[in-house]
Each structure stands twice: as structure tokens, then as C-alpha cells.
């Protein structure tokens, strides 16, 4: 596991995201199908800001939602959904949503709840037209945002990448809305704010991956080593650790808001925003890796120039498999084998040259110190000697008396005249 994270941190191509893109397409299709089914079957729990009506809320530590609904309906309120429990412990309160009521009807329901449960009741009335205006404004802002995204990515990169980014954004929107529908959380204005926030985060992560894809794919058409999908897959792996780190850093505080603030502490005012942020951030990280970049590869590899590149790469890999073209691994091994051999040969040649030089110097010293026979015979020595005459140098005849040029002459004993015995040497003073 540690080696895996080290390879990911080094930006190596560990996972084949692009080659297995059909698997991710199926996963996304199943998730979107579940979301759309929930839209049709369950629908959404819209807040009072969108549906309009009257909302009653009061603190109740022991009251049950069924009892509260019965009292409100007896007072003339048209309760639309089961009353919700907000908060916990001493902050526990009950929220009742009803249809539009006139001022006297609101007062009647309020008094009935206060007399029954003995707590102060707050009333909030919202017109349905106000909720309609909020919905239209949200849709208008979403359309403008998507248009701006398309223009930016098409100018910065190309229109195919804009298509991939928009597809990822719609995926994130539908998936987040599906989770909201399945769980049944209330859709409020804070939910719309959260949706726009996660769209920005998803786009940010996608643009980072696209920038790396564009960098890796630059100049690959002139070679035959890697396809566009290979360059894109390398880019996704190179930015994977960055995407994981940024997503975790963003999800940790949002998860604290959702599970601690809304779940344990019961702060109901932040749970709508926390849920949409948590789901949207996770979906945005998923779509930028598993959806946006594979869609771009699908579109790019339909171009003739990238088809030709893929064909050349396939031919080269087939030739490498047959051994006709050395692969990178083989070239590396050959270099590894050749380098020591070359170093050994160089060392041997150097040693040979040094050996020849040393032998020549030794021979020259020997030639300088060897004793050659003398040519002069008029000198005698006084002291007798038992040492025989010095032998002739190697390589010369025994009787040779010719000295080597530059050699030092040697005095040798001379024989006495008239005698055949052993010569007696005397040194003349």
C-alpha cells in the first residue's frame, strides 16, 4: 500500500482509468437511473420558500409529531407533511408546515398549539409566488453559469473538452438531486446555494485534469509511442493524488457540519447545505476522473489524425512484441550490459598501456646499470681478488669486447707477461 501511494505521488500510470472507461459509464448510468426513478416515485420535499404556505415552530421536549399534527388540523390547518423534529435535548423543537392561511386562521392555529403544549409558537407565512420567483432565479443563474463554463473551456482548451466538462456537471447535478430525493431532505434556498458551490468545485477539479491532459498530448502526433488515451490516462494518474487530497480536505469540514452539527447536535438549519455540499464534492471528484476525461478521449480519438496515431502505436507495439524494434526495457538492459563492458575494456587498455610503459622503463634502467667489458689493459690493481671476471651481458657474445654506447668502462685485471699462471692484480697508487 505504501509503495502504491509512493507511485501515485510520483505521478506514475498506476491505474488504467481510460482503458476501462466503459465500466465507469455503467456505474454512472446506474446511479443516474436510480436518481431519475426517485424523482418520479418520491419527488422532492420542497421547503415553504418554494411551495408557499404557513409554517409553525415551537420548542417541545416531549411532544410527538402525531399529536402536534392532530391539534393543528383540528384548529383548521391543512398540514401537508408530517411535522419534523428539529434539534435534540433542550433545543428540540417541532416544525409544522401547512397551506396558505389567512391572518385569523394563523392566529387560531397558533393559539391552539400554545394552549395544548404550553410553548411560544412562531409563525412564518410565505407566498407561493415568492417560491416561484426563487425557482426561476435559480434556473436562470444555472443556465448562465453553464454558458460561461462552455465559453471558457472552449477558448482555453477546445470544444470537446467543454462537452466533457458540461456532461460531468450535469452528472453531478442529477446525482446530488437524486440523493436529496432518496433521503427526503427539505429543498431550501440554501440547497440552491450549495448546488452552485459544488458546480464550481467540480469545474475546478476538471480544469486541472484537462490542463495536464493538454500538456501530455502536446506533440504526440509526430511520434508513435503513445496514443491520446495513453497521454490522458497518464495525466489522470499524475493529478490523482492532488484530487484525492483536495477532496478529502474539503469533505472533512463538510462532514463535520453534516454528521456532528445536524446529526448529533440537531442543528437543522445547516443540514440542507451540508448534505448538498457533501454529496456534490464527492460526485465532483468522481466525475472529473472517471467521466469528464474519458468522454474527451472518446471524442478526440474519432478524429482521423488520432486514429492514424493509434494505428502507428499499435504497429510499433506489435513490432516490439516480435523483437523487431527494441522496447524501452530492452534498450535500458542493453545499455546496462554495455556500460560495464565498455568500462572494463577501457580499464584494460589503460592498464595495458601502463604495463608497457613500466616494462620499457625497467628495461631502460637495466640497460643503464649493466656492466660491459673494458677495452683498456694497462691498469693493474694491488689487492688480489678471487672474483671471476664479470660475465658478458645478456644478448651479447661471450667474447665480445665492444662496449655499449654510453656505458661506463670497467677496469679488468690484466695477465702478467711471461707467465701462464693465474694473474695477480695490484692497484697502482
Q: How confident is the model at residue 36 (pLDDT cuts 50, 70, 90)?
A: very high
For residue 32, the model assigns a pLDDT of 92
Is the model's pLDDT at 397 over the cut of 50? Answer: no
Q: How confident is the model at residue 320 (pLDDT cuts 50, 70, 90)?
A: confident
The CATH number corresponding to 14-46+130-319 among 3.30.590.10, 3.60.15.10, 3.40.50.300, 1.20.1640.10 equals 1.20.1640.10
Cα gap 52→21, rounded to integer Å? 44
| 3-state SS track over 329-349 | HHHHHHHHHHHHHHHHHHHHH
Cα gap 365→158, rounded to integer Å? 82
Cα gap 238→214, rounded to integer Å? 13
Of 121, 130, 79, nearest in space to 101 by CA: 79
Of 129, 257, 124, nearest in space to 197 by CA: 257
Q: What is the pLDDT of residues 48-75, one digit of tens each?
A: 777 778 888 888 777 888 888 888 888 8
Mean pLDDT of the chain: 74
Of 138, 174, 190, 191, nearest in space to 287 by CA: 174
We find that the CATH architecture of domain 53-126 is 2-Layer Sandwich (3.30)
Lowest model confidence (mean pLDDT) among 132-146, 167-181, 398-412: 398-412
Is the model's pLDDT at 416 over the cut of 70? Answer: no
Delimit the domains of the chain by residue range: 14-46+130-319, 53-126
Secondary structure (3-state) at 71: helix
Cell numbers at 27, concatenated: 456505474
For residue 428, the model assigns a pLDDT of 44
Name the pTM for this structure: 0.65
Cα gap 111→118, rounded to integer Å? 10
Secondary structure (3-state) at 98: strand
DSSP label at 301?
A: T
Terminal-residue alpha carbon distance, the chain: 99
Q: What is the pLDDT of residues 208-218, one digit of tens each?
A: 899 999 898 88
Cell numbers at 237, concatenated: 494518474
Secondary structure (3-state) at 425: coil
User: Is 258 in contact with 142 (CB distance < 8 Å)?
Assistant: no
Q: What is the pLDDT of residues 103-156, one digit of tens each?
A: 888 888 888 888 888 788 888 887 767 767 777 887 888 888 888 888 988 888
Read off the pLDDT of each residue in 275-295 and give the average, rounded to a whole number.
88
Q: What is the pLDDT of residues 340-367, one digit of tens each?
A: 544 455 555 554 555 444 444 444 443 3
Of 193, 195, 199, 197, nearest in space to 150 by CA: 199
Amino acid at each position: 500500500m505504501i509503495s502504491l501511494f509512493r507511485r501515485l505521488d510520483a505521478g506514475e500510470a498506476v491505474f488504467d482509468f481510460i482503458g476501462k472507461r466503459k465500466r465507469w459509464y455503467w456505474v454512472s448510468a446506474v446511479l443516474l437511473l436510480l436518481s431519475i426513478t426517485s424523482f418520479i416515485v418520491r419527488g422532492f420535499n420542497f421547503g415553504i420558500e418554494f411551495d408557499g404556505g404557513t409554517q409553525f415552530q415551537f420548542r417541545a421536549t416531549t411532544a410527538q409529531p402525531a399529536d402536534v399534527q392532530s391539534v393543528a388540523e383540528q384548529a383548521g390547518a391543512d398540514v401537508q407533511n408530517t411535522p419534523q423534529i428539529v434539534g435534540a435535548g433542550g433545543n428540540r423543537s417541532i416544525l409544522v408546515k401547512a397551506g396558505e392561511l389567512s391572518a385569523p386562521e394563523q392566529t387560531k392555529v397558533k393559539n391552539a398549539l400554545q394552549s395544548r403544549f404550553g410553548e411560544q409558537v412562531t409563525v412564518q407565512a410565505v407566498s407561493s409566488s415568492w417560491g416561484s420567483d426563487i425557482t426561476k432565479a435559480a434556473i436562470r443563474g444555472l443556465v448562465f453559469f453553464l454558458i460561461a463554463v462552455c465559453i471558457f473551456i472552449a477558448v482555453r482548451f477546445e470544444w470537446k473538452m467543454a462537452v466533457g466538462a458540461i456532461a460531468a456537471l450535469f452528472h453531478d447535478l442529477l446525482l446530488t438531486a437524486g440523493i436529496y430525493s432518496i433521503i427526503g431532505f427539505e429543498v431550501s434556498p440554501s440547497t440552491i446555494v450549495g448546488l452552485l458551490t459544488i458546480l464550481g468545485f467540480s469545474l475546478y477539479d476538471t480544469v486541472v485534469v484537462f490542463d495536464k491532459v493538454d500538456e501530455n498530448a502536446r506533440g504526440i502526433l509526430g511520434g508513435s509511442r503513445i496514443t491520446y488515451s495513453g497521454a490522458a490516462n497518464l495525466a489522470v494518474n499524475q493529478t490523482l493524488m492532488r484530487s484525492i487530497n483536495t477532496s478529502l480536505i474539503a469533505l472533512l469540514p463538510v462532514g463535520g457540519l453534516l454528521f456532528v452539527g445536524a446529526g448529533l447536535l440537531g442543528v437543522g438549519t445547516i443540514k440542507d447545505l451540508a448534505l448538498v455540499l457533501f454529496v456534490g464534492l464527492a460526485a465532483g471528484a468522481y466525475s472529473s476522473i472517471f467521466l469528464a476525461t474519458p468522454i474527451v478521449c472518446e471524442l478526440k480519438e474519432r478524429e482521423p489524425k488520432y486514429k492514424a496515431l493509434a494505428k502507428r502505436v499499435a504497429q510499433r507495439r506489435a513490432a516490439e512484441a516480435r523483437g523487431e524494434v527494441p522496447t524501452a526495457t530492452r534498450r535500458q538492459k542493453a545499455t546496462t550490459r554495455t556500460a560495464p563492458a565498455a568500462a572494463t575494456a577501457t580499464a584494460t587498455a589503460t592498464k595495458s598501456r601502463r604495463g608497457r610503459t613500466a616494462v620499457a622503463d625497467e628495461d631502460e634502467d637495466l640497460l643503464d646499470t649493466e656492466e660491459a667489458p673494458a677495452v683498456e689493459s694497462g691498469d693493474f690493481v694491488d689487492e688480489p681478488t678471487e672474483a671471476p671476471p664479470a660475465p658478458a651481458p645478456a644478448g651479447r657474445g661471450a667474447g665480445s669486447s665492444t662496449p655499449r654506447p654510453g656505458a661506463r668502462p670497467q677496469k679488468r685485471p690484466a695477465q702478467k707477461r711471461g707467465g701462464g699462471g693465474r694473474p695477480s692484480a695490484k692497484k697502482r697508487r
